[in-house]
Amino acid sequence: MTLTEKLLARAAGKASVQAGDNIWVNADVLMTHDVCGPGTIGVFKREFGKTAKVWDRNRVVIIPDHYIFTADSLSNRNVDILRDFAREQGLPYFYDVIDDPSGAWKFDAAKGNLKRQFGSNYAGVCHAALPAKGHTRPGEVLFGTDSHTCMAGAFNEFATGIGNTDAGFVMGTGKLLIKVPETMRFRLEGKLQPGVMAKDIILHIIGEIGFDGATYRAMQFDGSGIATLSMDDRMTIANMAIEAGGKNGIFPFDARTAEYVNARTGLNGTKQSYEPVEADADQKFVYETVVDLSKLEPTVACHPDPGQRKTAKELSHLKLDRAYVGSCTGGKTSDFVEFARVLRGKKVVIDTFGVPATPDIVRDLQSTRWGHQTIWQILEEAGVRMTENAGCAACLGGPVDTFGRMNQGGLKCISATNRNFPGRMGSKESEVYLASPATVAASALTGRVTDPREYVGN
Amino acid sequence: MSKFTGPVYVVRDNIDTDQIIPAQFLNLVPTIAEEYEKLGSYALNGLPNALYPVRFVKDGAMDTEFPIVIAGRNFGCGSSREHAPIALGAANCECVVAESFARIYFRNCIATGEVYPIECPERLCDIFKTGDLAEVDIDAGTIRHVATGKVYSLKPLGEVRPVIDAGGIFDYARKNGMMPKAA
């Protein structure tokens, strides 16, 4: 069995499963957020009753992160719905925006977008917060009401996005009926060249198989090149399995996984024990390919879908209006480090936005010094508009007052986020080009798509 | 219901969930009745105007005049937002006939019972034009282009059909004794 098959067999209490089997699996964690949480709670109450209790209060994790820093009253109300539910159910893992459990959330637009407006429990973008707060463990099954839930596959677990109705079902029963996907194998070999990042690996792969090339399938990333990738790198890659239509992305377990997970589980009272899965020697794949990491170049996915692959060099004629670094896939500390490495001591020539995924990342960037300056200061001095209000922000457009949203048609934005369908970051007449934080940085310096190796050297 | 007749609305490949229901409207909660209806008024509102000059739901209307959507490959790709099949269902769309569907969208159609996601091996988005009359017969597994009289075969819905017929997974589970009756 492949990693995914093995994990699902275990979660179903079966000795073995094969692709195509419909099986009931036990969920280890169910995650929801402010966009899909209120609807999930609505389904749960409608179907299980107004006084029903969730199946296991330690396993339901609620992370407001999408439409938080907006004056839109319905969005603020949705955070309040989550708070009421968390209080009523006694959920220990609700990462509220404010500290007062009986308060109401209201964003104060008069204070502006840049300065922190959240309390001490707020955790930021759910997919980055889950591992940071100790909710991802090897060998487990994670369901989330968000398509990028697949990011947690970096930790050797089965993680996938589901809708509100399925999530309402999991909330009440702890189980879900799923079909075992076929597995596609991507064997990563070698090591990335300087200036080339994990984002380039996944953009290359999606370009190779197409935007629907992994529909209904698991994407297994293994091979000797994995050892060269940090956990952040693996998260960047697993995050975008969905952009090829994949059900999940998954990595093998190794010492790096253990180090990351062991340092974070338990901190928050989360479960510390786990049992990783290893693939069998006779695992079967529906597709197999080798990716030589040393041959990859800075890669861009052009408007209007993540499969429109070009190298950054090929696009050097393309003029841009905006640059953006942020989101689950592209707003981690390591992403901002590469962003800053290229921008240090220089000035951006187009509007450039930086949105860290979590408050912890804000703290990292504001406390890590390169010489006499913090990374945060280096970015600000380069002209990047950095916000402390960590969250999903303009990655998915959101309400019109969202920081970094493209409210005008005709704009072209290069972005370290994960999706570029029409209207993704705001106006449906705007265009998004996906690239690594290094490529976004180099492009922000020139105002056109730029290979970052011109700045970091070969 | 097994037969739907009416004008079709035709879209191309890779219509993602942002085009089906733009993210700015995700502040609406589908389980709140009036917000459910409002979601319907924004169905397919994210399609670029230049490519889709005829709107799926007219400005100011709550429902669509197109009960059948015809699409190319990978309809519903992108986010896991259940608002997407719900917006179509709330607009009174009955079914989407596509060359292929994205996984989560397909599953959300079944779980909610909002619209029938039906696959057709033929590339109907090259054959039908928005406004053409069509007849979909789910029992017979066909779609007929009324003006030309041509009939195209649909892939069978198989085991997902009774779930949608029942109105979604919870209703299906109750009907079949898998869950206690109403909570």
**Please, what are the averages of pLDDT over each run of 10 residues along chain B (183 residues)?**
93 97 97 98 97 97 98 97 98 98 96 96 98 97 98 93 90 86 62
Residue A418 has pLDDT above 90, yes or no: yes
Q: What does the buried/exposed string (b/e) look like for A270-305 if buried means 16 or more CB atoms within 10 Å of the residue's CB?
A: beeebebbebeeebebeeeeebebeebbbbbbbbbb
**Residue of A420, A428, A429 to mutate for B, most B C-beta atoms under 10 A:** A428
Q: Is the CB of B22 less than 8 angstroms away from the CB of A397?
A: yes
ipTM of this complex: 0.95
Min Cα–Cα distance to chain A from B43, Å: 14
The CA distance from A139 to A4, in Å, is 10
Contact in structure between A357 and A331 (CB atoms under 8 Å): yes
Nearest CB neighbour to A423, from listed B22, B74, B112: B22
Q: Average model confidence (pLDDT) for chain A?
A: 97
pLDDT tens figures, A239-294:
999 999 999 999 999 999 999 999 999 988 999 999 999 999 999 999 999 999 99
- Taking contacts as CB-CB distances below 8 angstroms, the residues of chain B near A211 are 14, 74, 77
Residue A338 has pLDDT above 80, yes or no: yes
Strands (E), A192-255: 217-222, 248-250
Nearest alpha carbon to residue A39 among A128, A152, A169, A140: A169
Residue B70 C-alpha from the chain's centroid: 9
Q: Is the CB of A305 less than 8 angstroms away from the CB of B80?
A: no
- If one counts the domains in chain B, the total is 1
The CA distance from A177 to A187, in Å, is 30
**B36 belongs to a structural domain:** yes
Q: Which helix (H) or strand (E) holds A97?
A: none
Cβ burial of A50 (10 Å; 0-12, 13-18, 19+) is exposed
Q: Is A72 on the interface with B (CB under 8 A)?
A: yes
Nearest CB neighbour to B100, from listed A74, A212, A400: A212
Q: Which domain holds residue B29?
A: 3-175
Residue A458 has pLDDT above 80, yes or no: no
Q: What is the count of residue pairs from A and B with beta carbons less than 8 Å apart?
A: 150
pLDDT tens figures, A284-314:
999 999 999 999 999 999 999 999 999 999 9
**B24 belongs to a structural domain:** yes
- Taking contacts as CB-CB distances below 8 angstroms, the residues of chain A near B114 are none
Please report, as a single letter, which amino acid is at residue A124. Answer: G
CATH number at residue B153: 3.20.19.10
Q: Which of residues 10-69 of A touch B (CB under 8 A)?
A: 35-36, 38-39, 41-43, 46-49, 52, 66-67
**B17 belongs to a structural domain:** yes
Q: Is the CB of A428 less than 8 angstroms away from the CB of B183?
A: no
Strands (E), A345-405: 351-355, 369-370, 373-374, 385-386
Q: Say whether A288 sits in a helix, a strand or coil.
A: strand
Min Cα–Cα distance to chain B from A106, Å: 14
The CA distance from A335 to A125, in Å, is 15
Strands (E), A129-267: 141-144, 158-161, 175-179, 182-189, 217-222, 248-250
**Residue of B19, B21, B31 to mutate for A, most A C-beta atoms under 10 A:** B31
Total Cβ atoms within 10 A of residue A255: 8
Annotation: CATH topology of A3-177: Aconitase; domain 3 (3.30.499)
**B59 belongs to a structural domain:** yes
What's the token pair of residue B88?
């179509």
Q: Packing angle between helix A231-239 and helix A333-343, nearest 10 degrees?
A: 100
Tell me the HSE value of B23 on the side-chain side, using a 13 A CA sphere: 33
Q: Is the CB of B183 less than 8 angstroms away from the CB of A166?
A: no
DSSP B137-157: ETTTTEEEETTT--EEE----
Yes or no: domain A180-253+283-295 corresponds to CATH 2.30.30.100: no
A116 Cβ neighbours under 8 A, 6+ residues apart = A359, A362, A388, A389
Return phi, psi of residue A223, to 5°. Answer: 100, 170
Residue A119 has pLDDT above 50, yes or no: yes
The CA distance from B115 to A161, in Å, is 20
The reply to whether omega before A304 is within 30° of 0 (cis) is yes
Q: Is the CB of B104 less than 8 angstroms away from the CB of A429?
A: no
- Taking contacts as CB-CB distances below 8 angstroms, the residues of chain B near A52 are 183
Q: Is the CB of A421 less than 8 angstroms away from the CB of B16?
A: yes
Q: Is the CB of B14 less than 8 angstroms away from the CB of A398?
A: no
Angle among Cα A85, A242, A300 to the nearest 5 degrees reads: 125
Residue ranges covered by each domain of chain A: 3-177, 180-253+283-295, 299-454
Contact in structure between A436 and A336 (CB atoms under 8 Å): no
User: What percentage of residues in chain A have a pLDDT greater than 90?
Assistant: 98
Q: Is A212 on the interface with B (CB under 8 A)?
A: yes
**B45 belongs to a structural domain:** yes
Q: Is B178 on the interface with A (CB under 8 A)?
A: no
**B109 belongs to a structural domain:** yes
- Taking contacts as CB-CB distances below 8 angstroms, the residues of chain A near B18 are 396-397, 419, 421-424
**Residue of B14, B38, B80 to mutate for A, most A C-beta atoms under 10 A:** B80
The sheet with strand A299-301 has its strands ordered as A309-311, A299-301, A431-434, A412-415, A322-326, A351-355, A385-386
Nearest alpha carbon to residue A208 among A118, A299, A133, A134: A299
**B58 belongs to a structural domain:** yes
Q: Is the CB of A163 less than 8 angstroms away from the CB of B82?
A: yes
**B181 belongs to a structural domain:** no
- Taking contacts as CB-CB distances below 8 angstroms, the residues of chain B near A242 are 78, 104
pLDDT at position A162, please? 98
Cβ burial of B171 (10 Å; 0-12, 13-18, 19+) is middle
Q: Is B16 on the interface with A (CB under 8 A)?
A: yes
Q: Is the CB of B14 less than 8 angstroms away from the CB of A211?
A: yes
Minimum CA–CA partner of A75 in chain B: B27
Q: What does the buried/exposed string (b/e) look like for B137-147 if buried means 16 or more CB atoms within 10 Å of the residue's CB?
A: ebeeeebbbee
Q: Is the CB of A48 less than 8 angstroms away from the CB of B23?
A: no
- pTM of the complete model: 0.97
Minimum CA–CA partner of A71 in chain B: B27
pLDDT tens figures, A362-379:
999 999 999 999 999 999
pLDDT at position B66, please? 98
Yes or no: domain A299-454 corresponds to CATH 3.30.499.10: yes
